[in-house]
Amino acid sequence: MPTLSVATWNINSVRLRLPQVERFLAEQAPDILCLQEIKCQEHQFPHEALRAAGYAHIVVHGQKGYHGVATVSRVPIRDFSRHDWQDNGEARHVGVELTDPAMQGMVVENVYIPAGGDEPDRAINPKFGQKLDFLERMTRWAGRIDRPTLIVGDFNVAPLESDVWNHKALLKVVSHTPIEVETLQRFMDAHGWADIGRQHIAAPERYYSWWSYRAKDWRAGDRGRRLDHMWASPELAAQATAHRVHEDIRGWAQPSDHVPLVTEFAF
């Protein structure tokens, strides 16, 4: 029975954290790794190092200094889609198609949704409006999907009460406001996405993927949020056999403020 493991990780600069990426690939060996916030252009991406690690198939959508996404793989993939859901040319999405017939035409979409600034009011904070509009454009796209699809990445929304360290304290904080949660729910409903993380780590169990750099001791304070997600088409989600959150990586030297998620599938 063919199997596939897919990881997603907001790396917060792939060149700065290349040693962490290499270590993660050596220790966990996912078949596919989707990176967000690579913060480099395609020609600056560490292609050689990742090929040396066994990831010969690389698709990069980058830009200078900010944002950027990349998908690296041990199994054959091809560049499939690049949507400008930000509507301003920023490199925040790349989709790849798995070309092995055993993978049933599966598509992996890798996205970095905007953070949305500090004030949850589009009238005084244009970045918040851009985030909501980004999600609405994704919602229109999701309604037209006709392939088994996995969408992963930094959604910058923690929708459930158990996705944040303190629900009441964060209701007016960008990433957990009711309007963001409602907007994300519309995106989920547009394709009937299954939240794989919550299929395997059922609410109300604590589930975080991000801890702020501002915390002196991230583990002791544990003021986390689940900003990273792996969602699948219903038929594909039924083939997910395991899901893991690698919290320990937040404690590595010079870490990203996000940790990787990994989902395994059996076809």
What per-residue confidence (pLDDT) applies to 222?
A: 97
pTM of the model: 0.97
Average pLDDT over residues 185-193: 98
Phi/psi at 47 (5° precision): -55, -50
End-to-end CA distance of the chain: 6
What per-residue confidence (pLDDT) applies to 200?
A: 98
> CA 74 to CA 208: how far, in whole Å?
27
What per-residue confidence (pLDDT) applies to 161?
A: 98
β 228-232/149-154 pair status: antiparallel
Is residue 229 pLDDT above 90, yes or no? Answer: yes
**The 69-73 sheet, strands edge to edge:** 57-61, 69-73, 32-36, 3-10, 261-266, 240-245
Nearest 5°: the CA angle 38, 41, 42 is 95
Q: Where are the alpha helices (DSSP H) in 158-230?
A: 167-170, 178-191, 196-200, 218-221
* Structural domains of the chain sorted by starting position, each given as residue range(s) with its CATH number in brackets: 3-266 (3.60.10.10)
Quick: pLDDT tens for 196-220. Answer: 999 999 999 999 999 999 988 999 9
Quick: pLDDT tens for 250-261. Answer: 999 999 999 999
Amino acid code (one letter) for 241: T
Is residue 111 pLDDT above 80, yes or no? Answer: yes
